[in-house]
Amino acid sequence: MLALPNDPVLPDTTTPSANESDATSLAVVRVDDYAAFLDLALPWNALAAERSIFLRHEWFDAAWQWRSRDDMTRLAILCAYRGTCLVGVWPLLHCIEPGGMLARRILEFLTVPDTQLCDILVAADLDQNLVVAAFANHLAARCRDWDALRLRYVPADAVAITKLPEVLRGVGMDVVVTPAGGNPYVRLDIGWEDYYATRSRRLKKANNLTVNRLKKTGDILITRLAPGISSEGDTAAMLDTAIAISAKSWKRTTGNALDQPGPQAFIRRLSKLAAERGWLSLWLLALDGKPMAMEYQLVFNGHVHALRGDVVDGYDEISPGSYLHRHQLEQLCGGELRRYLMGPGDNPYKRHWSDEAEPLFRLDAYSTSTRGKLAALWSLKIRPGLRALKALFQYNKKVESA
Protein backbone atom coordinates (compact mmCIF):
# COMPACT_ATOMS: atom_id res chain seq x y z
CA MET A 1 0.00 0.00 0.00
CA LEU A 2 1.29 3.44 -0.85
CA ALA A 3 1.77 5.52 2.27
CA LEU A 4 0.04 8.85 2.74
CA PRO A 5 1.88 11.85 4.14
CA ASN A 6 1.60 12.18 7.92
CA ASP A 7 -0.23 15.48 7.51
CA PRO A 8 -2.06 15.32 4.16
CA VAL A 9 -3.24 18.63 2.77
CA LEU A 10 -6.94 19.36 2.99
CA PRO A 11 -9.17 19.97 -0.04
CA ASP A 12 -10.03 23.54 -0.93
CA THR A 13 -11.67 25.26 -3.90
CA THR A 14 -9.25 28.21 -4.00
CA THR A 15 -8.17 29.08 -7.53
CA PRO A 16 -4.49 28.13 -8.09
CA SER A 17 -1.90 30.60 -9.30
CA ALA A 18 -1.84 30.56 -13.11
CA ASN A 19 1.84 31.43 -13.40
CA GLU A 20 3.12 28.41 -11.50
CA SER A 21 4.39 25.95 -14.13
CA ASP A 22 6.47 23.30 -12.38
CA ALA A 23 4.76 19.95 -11.83
CA THR A 24 6.95 19.40 -8.76
CA SER A 25 5.08 22.26 -7.09
CA LEU A 26 2.04 19.96 -6.91
CA ALA A 27 1.63 17.55 -4.01
CA VAL A 28 0.07 14.18 -4.86
CA VAL A 29 -1.83 12.35 -2.13
CA ARG A 30 -3.31 8.89 -2.43
CA VAL A 31 -6.73 8.43 -0.83
CA ASP A 32 -7.51 4.83 0.13
CA ASP A 33 -10.01 5.48 2.91
CA TYR A 34 -13.74 5.79 2.18
CA ALA A 35 -14.32 8.51 4.78
CA ALA A 36 -11.52 10.60 3.26
CA PHE A 37 -13.04 10.00 -0.18
CA LEU A 38 -16.41 11.32 1.01
CA ASP A 39 -14.73 14.49 2.26
CA LEU A 40 -13.63 15.23 -1.32
CA ALA A 41 -17.17 15.64 -2.68
CA LEU A 42 -17.34 19.45 -2.99
CA PRO A 43 -13.88 20.16 -4.50
CA TRP A 44 -14.16 17.03 -6.66
CA ASN A 45 -17.44 18.21 -8.18
CA ALA A 46 -15.98 21.68 -8.68
CA LEU A 47 -13.42 20.02 -10.97
CA ALA A 48 -16.01 17.84 -12.71
CA ALA A 49 -18.38 20.80 -13.26
CA GLU A 50 -20.80 19.91 -16.08
CA ARG A 51 -18.49 17.61 -18.07
CA SER A 52 -20.24 14.31 -17.44
CA ILE A 53 -22.27 12.62 -14.75
CA PHE A 54 -19.75 9.77 -14.88
CA LEU A 55 -17.04 12.10 -13.57
CA ARG A 56 -19.09 13.33 -10.62
CA HIS A 57 -18.23 12.30 -7.08
CA GLU A 58 -21.71 10.79 -6.68
CA TRP A 59 -21.10 8.31 -9.48
CA PHE A 60 -17.83 7.07 -8.00
CA ASP A 61 -19.41 6.88 -4.55
CA ALA A 62 -22.08 4.53 -5.92
CA ALA A 63 -19.55 2.54 -7.95
CA TRP A 64 -17.43 1.93 -4.86
CA GLN A 65 -20.43 0.34 -3.10
CA TRP A 66 -20.16 -2.42 -5.71
CA ARG A 67 -16.40 -2.67 -6.11
CA SER A 68 -15.74 -2.62 -2.35
CA ARG A 69 -17.31 -6.08 -2.13
CA ASP A 70 -14.11 -7.52 -3.62
CA ASP A 71 -11.51 -8.18 -0.91
CA MET A 72 -8.75 -7.90 -3.51
CA THR A 73 -9.71 -4.32 -4.46
CA ARG A 74 -9.11 -1.07 -2.61
CA LEU A 75 -9.36 2.62 -3.28
CA ALA A 76 -6.24 4.26 -4.70
CA ILE A 77 -7.50 7.70 -5.70
CA LEU A 78 -4.73 10.13 -6.58
CA CYS A 79 -5.35 13.78 -5.67
CA ALA A 80 -3.12 16.63 -6.84
CA TYR A 81 -2.94 19.74 -4.66
CA ARG A 82 -1.41 23.15 -5.06
CA GLY A 83 -1.17 24.32 -1.49
CA THR A 84 -4.56 23.46 -0.05
CA CYS A 85 -6.32 23.59 -3.43
CA LEU A 86 -7.42 20.36 -5.12
CA VAL A 87 -6.42 20.76 -8.78
CA GLY A 88 -6.56 17.17 -10.06
CA VAL A 89 -8.18 13.81 -9.36
CA TRP A 90 -7.34 10.43 -10.84
CA PRO A 91 -10.07 8.00 -9.68
CA LEU A 92 -8.15 4.74 -9.40
CA LEU A 93 -8.50 1.34 -7.76
CA HIS A 94 -5.71 -1.02 -6.77
CA CYS A 95 -6.74 -4.57 -7.72
CA ILE A 96 -4.97 -7.90 -7.43
CA GLU A 97 -5.67 -10.33 -10.25
CA PRO A 98 -5.28 -13.92 -8.98
CA GLY A 99 -2.72 -16.10 -10.70
CA GLY A 100 -0.33 -17.51 -8.14
CA MET A 101 3.18 -16.54 -9.15
CA LEU A 102 1.68 -14.63 -12.10
CA ALA A 103 -0.70 -12.55 -9.98
CA ARG A 104 -0.71 -8.90 -11.03
CA ARG A 105 -1.25 -5.70 -9.11
CA ILE A 106 -3.42 -3.57 -11.37
CA LEU A 107 -4.27 0.11 -11.19
CA GLU A 108 -7.52 0.83 -12.99
CA PHE A 109 -10.29 3.39 -13.11
CA LEU A 110 -13.02 3.07 -10.48
CA THR A 111 -15.67 1.71 -12.84
CA VAL A 112 -18.56 -0.76 -12.94
CA PRO A 113 -20.21 -2.46 -15.95
CA ASP A 114 -22.67 0.47 -16.15
CA THR A 115 -19.91 3.08 -16.58
CA GLN A 116 -20.08 4.91 -19.92
CA LEU A 117 -16.88 6.98 -19.68
CA CYS A 118 -14.08 7.86 -17.29
CA ASP A 119 -11.16 10.30 -17.18
CA ILE A 120 -8.69 12.25 -15.08
CA LEU A 121 -10.03 15.53 -13.69
CA VAL A 122 -7.96 18.71 -13.94
CA ALA A 123 -8.77 22.27 -12.87
CA ALA A 124 -10.02 24.24 -15.87
CA ASP A 125 -7.50 27.09 -15.47
CA LEU A 126 -4.46 24.85 -15.04
CA ASP A 127 -2.21 23.29 -17.68
CA GLN A 128 -3.33 19.66 -17.92
CA ASN A 129 0.23 18.53 -18.56
CA LEU A 130 1.32 19.77 -15.12
CA VAL A 131 -1.21 17.64 -13.26
CA VAL A 132 -0.65 14.60 -15.47
CA ALA A 133 3.13 14.93 -15.00
CA ALA A 134 2.69 15.10 -11.23
CA PHE A 135 0.59 11.93 -11.29
CA ALA A 136 3.07 10.15 -13.59
CA ASN A 137 6.01 11.09 -11.37
CA HIS A 138 4.10 9.77 -8.36
CA LEU A 139 3.50 6.41 -10.05
CA ALA A 140 7.08 6.21 -11.33
CA ALA A 141 8.49 6.85 -7.86
CA ARG A 142 6.34 4.00 -6.52
CA CYS A 143 6.88 1.61 -9.42
CA ARG A 144 7.38 -1.36 -7.09
CA ASP A 145 3.86 -1.01 -5.67
CA TRP A 146 2.04 -1.86 -8.91
CA ASP A 147 2.61 -3.84 -12.11
CA ALA A 148 0.18 -2.60 -14.77
CA LEU A 149 -2.14 0.32 -15.41
CA ARG A 150 -5.40 -0.44 -17.20
CA LEU A 151 -7.81 2.34 -18.10
CA ARG A 152 -11.12 1.59 -19.83
CA TYR A 153 -14.10 3.64 -21.06
CA VAL A 154 -11.84 6.51 -22.13
CA PRO A 155 -13.39 9.00 -24.62
CA ALA A 156 -11.38 10.50 -27.47
CA ASP A 157 -11.04 13.94 -25.87
CA ALA A 158 -10.05 12.63 -22.45
CA VAL A 159 -6.94 13.80 -20.61
CA ALA A 160 -6.17 10.10 -20.16
CA ILE A 161 -5.78 9.78 -23.95
CA THR A 162 -4.66 13.21 -25.16
CA LYS A 163 -2.05 13.88 -22.44
CA LEU A 164 -1.29 10.81 -20.34
CA PRO A 165 0.35 8.41 -22.86
CA GLU A 166 3.18 10.78 -23.82
CA VAL A 167 3.86 11.69 -20.20
CA LEU A 168 3.98 8.04 -19.10
CA ARG A 169 6.37 7.20 -21.92
CA GLY A 170 8.48 10.13 -20.80
CA VAL A 171 9.08 8.44 -17.43
CA GLY A 172 10.05 5.16 -19.12
CA MET A 173 6.79 3.21 -19.18
CA ASP A 174 5.55 1.02 -22.02
CA VAL A 175 2.15 2.36 -23.11
CA VAL A 176 -0.43 1.01 -25.56
CA VAL A 177 -3.64 2.80 -26.59
CA THR A 178 -6.23 0.78 -28.49
CA PRO A 179 -9.75 1.50 -29.81
CA ALA A 180 -12.40 -0.04 -27.55
CA GLY A 181 -15.69 0.36 -29.37
CA GLY A 182 -18.02 3.22 -28.67
CA ASN A 183 -21.07 4.53 -26.88
CA PRO A 184 -23.97 4.57 -29.40
CA TYR A 185 -26.41 7.44 -29.18
CA VAL A 186 -29.64 8.78 -30.63
CA ARG A 187 -30.08 12.49 -31.26
CA LEU A 188 -33.05 13.80 -29.29
CA ASP A 189 -33.02 17.36 -30.61
CA ILE A 190 -35.01 16.31 -33.68
CA GLY A 191 -38.67 15.26 -33.82
CA TRP A 192 -39.65 11.62 -33.49
CA GLU A 193 -41.02 11.35 -37.02
CA ASP A 194 -37.83 12.75 -38.54
CA TYR A 195 -35.69 10.37 -36.51
CA TYR A 196 -37.88 7.30 -37.04
CA ALA A 197 -37.87 7.90 -40.79
CA THR A 198 -34.13 7.08 -40.75
CA ARG A 199 -34.71 3.61 -39.32
CA SER A 200 -34.87 0.48 -41.40
CA ARG A 201 -38.07 -1.10 -42.68
CA ARG A 202 -37.06 -4.26 -40.88
CA LEU A 203 -37.01 -2.48 -37.51
CA LYS A 204 -40.34 -0.77 -38.15
CA LYS A 205 -41.95 -4.06 -39.14
CA ALA A 206 -40.62 -5.73 -35.99
CA ASN A 207 -41.95 -2.86 -33.85
CA ASN A 208 -45.41 -3.14 -35.44
CA LEU A 209 -45.48 -6.87 -34.76
CA THR A 210 -44.47 -6.23 -31.14
CA VAL A 211 -47.31 -3.74 -30.66
CA ASN A 212 -49.88 -6.18 -32.08
CA ARG A 213 -48.65 -9.12 -30.00
CA LEU A 214 -48.53 -7.18 -26.75
CA LYS A 215 -51.99 -5.69 -27.20
CA LYS A 216 -53.41 -9.15 -27.90
CA THR A 217 -51.72 -10.46 -24.76
CA GLY A 218 -53.10 -7.91 -22.31
CA ASP A 219 -53.36 -4.30 -21.15
CA ILE A 220 -50.11 -2.34 -21.37
CA LEU A 221 -49.24 0.24 -18.75
CA ILE A 222 -46.05 2.35 -18.90
CA THR A 223 -45.09 4.52 -15.95
CA ARG A 224 -42.14 6.84 -15.56
CA LEU A 225 -40.36 8.24 -12.56
CA ALA A 226 -39.22 11.50 -14.16
CA PRO A 227 -36.23 13.54 -12.98
CA GLY A 228 -36.94 15.86 -10.08
CA ILE A 229 -40.71 15.36 -9.72
CA SER A 230 -41.24 12.09 -7.83
CA SER A 231 -41.49 11.54 -4.08
CA GLU A 232 -39.16 9.42 -2.01
CA GLY A 233 -41.91 6.82 -1.70
CA ASP A 234 -42.39 6.66 -5.47
CA THR A 235 -38.66 6.26 -5.96
CA ALA A 236 -38.36 3.41 -3.46
CA ALA A 237 -41.39 1.52 -4.81
CA MET A 238 -40.39 1.81 -8.46
CA LEU A 239 -36.78 0.93 -7.70
CA ASP A 240 -37.90 -2.22 -5.86
CA THR A 241 -39.94 -3.16 -8.93
CA ALA A 242 -37.00 -2.55 -11.25
CA ILE A 243 -34.73 -4.71 -9.09
CA ALA A 244 -37.33 -7.49 -9.09
CA ILE A 245 -37.51 -7.37 -12.91
CA SER A 246 -33.72 -7.53 -13.16
CA ALA A 247 -33.68 -10.54 -10.83
CA LYS A 248 -35.92 -12.40 -13.31
CA SER A 249 -33.96 -11.37 -16.41
CA TRP A 250 -31.23 -13.31 -18.22
CA LYS A 251 -28.68 -11.32 -16.20
CA ARG A 252 -29.46 -13.44 -13.15
CA THR A 253 -26.97 -15.98 -14.57
CA THR A 254 -24.18 -13.39 -14.87
CA GLY A 255 -23.99 -12.10 -11.30
CA ASN A 256 -24.83 -8.59 -12.54
CA ALA A 257 -28.58 -8.65 -11.88
CA LEU A 258 -29.65 -5.84 -9.56
CA ASP A 259 -30.71 -8.19 -6.75
CA GLN A 260 -27.11 -9.34 -6.28
CA PRO A 261 -25.22 -7.75 -3.33
CA GLY A 262 -22.75 -5.62 -5.31
CA PRO A 263 -25.08 -4.37 -8.05
CA GLN A 264 -27.88 -3.76 -5.53
CA ALA A 265 -25.63 -1.72 -3.22
CA PHE A 266 -24.56 0.29 -6.27
CA ILE A 267 -28.04 0.96 -7.65
CA ARG A 268 -29.56 1.86 -4.29
CA ARG A 269 -26.78 4.33 -3.44
CA LEU A 270 -26.89 5.79 -6.94
CA SER A 271 -30.68 6.10 -6.86
CA LYS A 272 -30.62 7.94 -3.54
CA LEU A 273 -28.01 10.44 -4.72
CA ALA A 274 -29.51 10.83 -8.21
CA ALA A 275 -33.06 11.34 -6.91
CA GLU A 276 -31.86 14.03 -4.48
CA ARG A 277 -30.18 15.89 -7.34
CA GLY A 278 -32.94 15.49 -9.92
CA TRP A 279 -31.08 13.10 -12.24
CA LEU A 280 -33.04 9.86 -11.84
CA SER A 281 -35.32 8.60 -14.63
CA LEU A 282 -36.93 5.17 -14.38
CA TRP A 283 -39.39 3.57 -16.81
CA LEU A 284 -41.54 0.52 -16.06
CA LEU A 285 -43.81 -1.53 -18.34
CA ALA A 286 -46.50 -3.78 -16.91
CA LEU A 287 -48.70 -6.21 -18.82
CA ASP A 288 -52.06 -6.89 -17.16
CA GLY A 289 -50.59 -5.48 -13.96
CA LYS A 290 -47.50 -7.70 -14.05
CA PRO A 291 -44.15 -5.82 -14.23
CA MET A 292 -42.35 -7.04 -17.34
CA ALA A 293 -39.66 -4.55 -18.41
CA MET A 294 -37.73 -1.59 -17.06
CA GLU A 295 -35.10 0.93 -18.05
CA TYR A 296 -32.97 2.82 -15.55
CA GLN A 297 -31.59 6.16 -16.73
CA LEU A 298 -29.69 9.19 -15.52
CA VAL A 299 -30.48 12.59 -17.06
CA PHE A 300 -27.69 15.16 -16.81
CA ASN A 301 -26.74 18.27 -18.76
CA GLY A 302 -29.06 17.50 -21.67
CA HIS A 303 -28.03 13.84 -21.97
CA VAL A 304 -30.07 10.75 -21.16
CA HIS A 305 -27.80 7.89 -20.12
CA ALA A 306 -29.45 4.47 -20.35
CA LEU A 307 -27.73 2.37 -17.69
CA ARG A 308 -29.93 -0.68 -17.43
CA GLY A 309 -32.66 -2.21 -19.57
CA ASP A 310 -34.00 -5.48 -18.16
CA VAL A 311 -36.91 -7.73 -19.18
CA VAL A 312 -38.44 -10.69 -17.37
CA ASP A 313 -36.97 -13.77 -19.05
CA GLY A 314 -39.16 -15.98 -21.22
CA TYR A 315 -41.13 -13.32 -23.10
CA ASP A 316 -38.95 -12.88 -26.17
CA GLU A 317 -41.85 -13.59 -28.51
CA ILE A 318 -43.84 -10.53 -27.41
CA SER A 319 -40.75 -8.30 -26.78
CA PRO A 320 -41.94 -6.00 -23.97
CA GLY A 321 -38.46 -4.48 -23.79
CA SER A 322 -38.56 -3.43 -27.45
CA TYR A 323 -41.98 -1.88 -26.94
CA LEU A 324 -40.77 0.12 -23.95
CA HIS A 325 -37.63 1.24 -25.79
CA ARG A 326 -39.59 2.58 -28.75
CA HIS A 327 -42.12 4.30 -26.50
CA GLN A 328 -39.56 6.14 -24.42
CA LEU A 329 -37.58 7.33 -27.45
CA GLU A 330 -40.79 8.68 -28.97
CA GLN A 331 -41.45 10.57 -25.73
CA LEU A 332 -37.90 11.91 -25.41
CA CYS A 333 -37.41 13.10 -29.00
CA GLY A 334 -38.10 16.67 -30.01
CA GLY A 335 -37.73 18.29 -26.59
CA GLU A 336 -34.91 20.09 -24.80
CA LEU A 337 -32.73 17.00 -24.40
CA ARG A 338 -29.82 16.45 -26.78
CA ARG A 339 -28.74 12.81 -26.77
CA TYR A 340 -29.87 9.39 -25.59
CA LEU A 341 -26.75 7.31 -24.94
CA MET A 342 -27.15 3.54 -24.88
CA GLY A 343 -23.89 2.63 -23.16
CA PRO A 344 -20.78 0.85 -24.47
CA GLY A 345 -21.21 -2.45 -26.26
CA ASP A 346 -21.76 -3.62 -29.82
CA ASN A 347 -25.19 -5.16 -29.34
CA PRO A 348 -27.32 -5.75 -32.45
CA TYR A 349 -30.34 -3.89 -31.07
CA LYS A 350 -28.21 -0.76 -30.59
CA ARG A 351 -27.18 -0.84 -34.24
CA HIS A 352 -30.86 -0.99 -35.22
CA TRP A 353 -31.56 2.25 -33.36
CA SER A 354 -28.36 4.22 -33.89
CA ASP A 355 -25.86 5.00 -36.64
CA GLU A 356 -23.63 7.16 -34.43
CA ALA A 357 -21.40 6.49 -31.44
CA GLU A 358 -18.90 8.32 -29.28
CA PRO A 359 -15.59 6.44 -29.70
CA LEU A 360 -13.94 4.92 -26.65
CA PHE A 361 -10.37 3.79 -26.04
CA ARG A 362 -8.36 1.66 -23.66
CA LEU A 363 -4.94 2.52 -22.26
CA ASP A 364 -2.51 -0.07 -20.91
CA ALA A 365 0.79 0.90 -19.31
CA TYR A 366 3.38 -1.01 -17.33
CA SER A 367 5.51 -0.19 -14.34
CA THR A 368 9.27 0.20 -14.81
CA SER A 369 9.86 -2.33 -12.03
CA THR A 370 11.03 -5.86 -12.80
CA ARG A 371 7.50 -7.18 -12.29
CA GLY A 372 6.13 -4.48 -14.56
CA LYS A 373 8.65 -5.22 -17.29
CA LEU A 374 7.79 -8.92 -17.13
CA ALA A 375 4.09 -8.08 -17.36
CA ALA A 376 4.81 -5.89 -20.41
CA LEU A 377 6.90 -8.64 -22.02
CA TRP A 378 4.09 -11.16 -21.58
CA SER A 379 1.27 -8.86 -22.69
CA LEU A 380 3.02 -7.08 -25.56
CA LYS A 381 5.32 -9.76 -26.96
CA ILE A 382 4.84 -13.33 -25.75
CA ARG A 383 1.04 -13.59 -25.67
CA PRO A 384 0.52 -11.93 -29.11
CA GLY A 385 3.21 -14.23 -30.49
CA LEU A 386 1.49 -17.31 -29.11
CA ARG A 387 -1.82 -16.18 -30.56
CA ALA A 388 -0.22 -15.67 -33.96
CA LEU A 389 1.30 -19.15 -33.84
CA LYS A 390 -2.04 -20.66 -32.87
CA ALA A 391 -3.81 -18.86 -35.73
CA LEU A 392 -1.11 -20.03 -38.16
CA PHE A 393 -1.42 -23.61 -36.91
CA GLN A 394 -5.21 -23.56 -37.30
CA TYR A 395 -4.92 -22.07 -40.78
CA ASN A 396 -2.41 -24.71 -41.91
CA LYS A 397 -4.57 -27.45 -40.46
CA LYS A 398 -7.57 -26.11 -42.35
CA VAL A 399 -5.56 -25.98 -45.62
CA GLU A 400 -4.31 -29.54 -45.17
CA SER A 401 -7.84 -30.85 -44.57
CA ALA A 402 -9.29 -29.03 -47.58
Reference 305, options 279, 285, 326; nearest CA is 279
pLDDT value of residue 23: 66
pLDDT surpassing 70 at residue 216: yes
| CB-based burial label for 209 (10 Å; 0-12, 13-18, 19+) | middle
Q: Any residues with CB less than 8 A from the CB of 222 and at least 6 apart, and which? A: 283, 284, 285, 286, 324, 327
Kind plus residue range of the DSSP H or E element containing 167: helix 164-170
- One of 3.90.1570.10, 3.40.630.30, 3.30.499.10, 3.30.70.1900 is the CATH number of 189-337, namely 3.40.630.30
Answer whether 0.85 is exceeded by the pTM. Answer: yes
Instruction: Delimit the domains of the chain by residue range.
Output: 23-181+360-390, 189-337
Residue 230: which pLDDT band, with cuts at 50, 70 and 90?
low
pLDDT tens-digit series, residues 80-122: 999 999 999 999 999 998 876 667 999 999 999 999 999 999 9
pLDDT score recorded for residue 388: 81
12, pLDDT greater than 70: no
Same-fold call for 23-181+360-390 versus 189-337? yes
Class of 23-181+360-390 in CATH? alpha beta
At residue 387, the pLDDT reads 83
pLDDT over 70 (residue 351): yes
Region 20-41 average pLDDT:
88
